[in-house]
Chains A and B, each alone.
Chain A
Amino acid sequence: MSDARSAILAKMRSAMGRKADDVERKAAVADRLQRSPRGPLPARGQLPESERTALFQKMAEAVQASVVRVASRADVPDAVSAYLKSKNLPATVRMGEDARLAEMPWSAQKHMEILKGRAENADLATVSHALGGVAETGTLMLVSGPDNPTTLNFLPEHHIVVLEEADIAGDYESVWARIRERFGKGVMPRTVNMITGPSRSADIEQTLLLGAHGPRALHIVIVDKG
């Protein structure tokens, strides 16, 4: 296949009237990849933390996610349990190995069953911990791995996502900066999911319907900074 590669690159260079060893162009590319300059950011998300959280909630609700806020990590299991009850769901959730989730007092929830690992087709509800949120559009950002397997985001009917208030940024770019810090510049985990509301389709006569292939419902539990 290296033949096709050289042929395509050669065709492009001749169409552009450029040579491969064009020093200036190489420098321009290296510079942009190194610096990753930011473009204009919408003023909407550039807010102090408390207002940012409120905007995140408003934007997420506008795309049919449900949002609750709790005072501390210890309150998350209660919130999850209340959500399951309100939807008449069995008291069973599946989650990954995320240490923040593991430390929560799940055992205080009587009759609640916690399944671990990647999602199964029959799972009705799963719990993930988000890496961050973006207030601008009410978007969650999740990364793959044993802590929060990606299938948890897509297979269940109900996806419950825990998000720390401190992790809500104004814009996507700030979350990318965090991901670069964590994984290294130019390195990504297998999957990063930006999720903005529950799954939907408008493919039948342009009528909006929720729950196409992914979760029918997205429930976000925000842990306040306190």
Chain B
Amino acid sequence: MSVTSFLNLTVNGITVGMIYALIALGYTMVYGILEFINFAHGEVFTIGGYFGAIFLTWIIIQPGMPFVLKITLIILAFLFSIIATSLLGETVYLIAYKPLVGKSSRIGPLLSAIGVSIVLQNLILLIFGTTPITMPVEAIPRGFFIIGDAYIRHIGLIIIGITCISMFILSLYVKKSRMGQAMRATSQDIEAAEMMGINTNRIISITFIIGSALAAVAGILVCMYYGTLKFNIGFLYGLKAFTACVVGGIGSIPGAFIGSLFIGLIENYSIGLKFNLLGIFVALVFLLGTYYQFYLLPKKAKAGIKFIAPLFSKREEEKGSLVTTEKKTKKDLMSMEEKEMAKKAYYFGPLLIFFNFKKKNPSSFVAFHVRQSIKISFFNLFVFITMILMLFIFPNFQISSQWKDVVTYLMLILILIVKPSGLLGENIPEKV
């Protein structure tokens, strides 16, 4: 395994991650406002790709065409697909979701979305059959760089560039513009937003339009990257993009971006690298874990902070042991002795079971930290064993590519166990 093919894997991972990110934004923005998962979004992505490819096939990009004309046609194809797909996304919302959202049960719109997903897939099948649609060769940027023995295609870099620019513009739009402000207000409290004079119906429509437009861009880019697109590809991409949202923290735009990048990289590294190199990543996780166990968490315990960010599990919050910023005075209620005990808990970890802590009848504060300590110790132990296995016992083992998705999902589940709200999950606003 050379450094250059590592570079290759990285670029491929980022590229695929960017595609997921473009799709993921549609999921996360809709979820942010309506708190429902638009399962048909994957199909909207496929159809976006189909629209682009059909447009470029129709107008027949020819080999002899001047570069500028070719670029113009490709841009036109993007515009055509963006407009057509946005209309589709908006229509789906108006017909299938709007009559159901907010009425009666939560499961209604969800079922409707699954239904729409099936209908759309069958529609593609009916019109185009099972043969994948192909992108005209002339429309695909075919250049590449060679760095060492790494082979980097221009189209990959183009995908990364387009996604980063779209992300940047979208973040700016949501953060700065009045419409973006209205969007955020709507996603935080739709009823209050309405009473502030925001036409929330329009905001929801715009959200669907933006999400669909980005999915259309992703569809065309994937079709350019792989050359073809199959009628059912949207399901897998949609699922992964959605997972990326959850991993990054659903409802958060930067979260969707980070989560997607994560999935793209994990997918590529896990099957492309031998265990001795993968072990290095595991080692980094282990270092982070020990930093938490032996430095950060003891420090927090000593400061008397009972509630430690949603690091481990939501259940602690539900039990009501959440100490909000406004109740900081509680800090002083913990005695020095208790704080010392909580701090030590982290150093001894699971061994505490043998020391019979229960007998001493610890306060809820100490008990909380003992629980945390046991959890993180087991986590670290698990990571440590994995690291040893990878680095020293099976250094030359490589996961075969058919296990790609399984490995990816195992990793993701692990992340969610450690941090249930996702990597950049929003702090749950305290309800008064």
A binds B: no
Q: Give A contacts to B, CB under 8 Å.
A: none
Q: Give B contacts to A, CB under 8 Å.
A: none
